[in-house]
């Protein structure tokens, strides 16, 4: 088995999290990119838990990963369902239009 330094993997995790947070901060128009950025951030945190569980030889990180994946899947499913119904009604998914909805 090839052993790698944990710093390389943590640097990759930090880069993934920063890409997700930049996608969340810089994107103000598209809801789909916002949802994908949140999912990327959650998956990078999951990878962090898995790496430290392997490094520390502990099962607690895997339990947290299962909980986070469950919550991320439900968040994604509910968000996309609301988004598809909104698109069916208004024919747009722009965030500027969503902020001004009154009915």
Q: Which domains does the chain have, with CATH numbers?
A: 6-99 (1.10.287.3510)
pLDDT at 69: 92
**Global confidence as pTM:** 0.80
Q: What is the pLDDT of residue 98?
A: 59
pLDDT tens digits, residue range 30-82? 888 888 899 999 999 999 999 999 988 899 999 999 999 999 899 889 988 98
Residue 17 is encoded by which pair of tokens? Answer: 């999290």
Q: Looking at residue 97, what is its pLDDT? A: 59
**Tell me, what's the pLDDT at 76?**
87
């Amino acid at each position: 088995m090839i052993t790698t330094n944990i710093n390389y993997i943590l640097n990759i995790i930090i880069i993934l999290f920063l890409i997700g947070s930049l996608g969340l901060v810089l994107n103000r128009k598209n809801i789909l990119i916002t949802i994908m950025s949140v999912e990327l951030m959650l998956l990078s945190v999951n990878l962090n838990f898995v790496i430290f569980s392997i490094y520390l030889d502990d099962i607690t990180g895997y339990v947290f990963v299962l909980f986070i994946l469950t919550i991320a899947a439900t968040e994604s499913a509910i968000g996309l369902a609301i988004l598809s119904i909104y698109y069916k009604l208004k024919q747009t998914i722009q965030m500027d239009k969503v902020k001004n909805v009154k009915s």
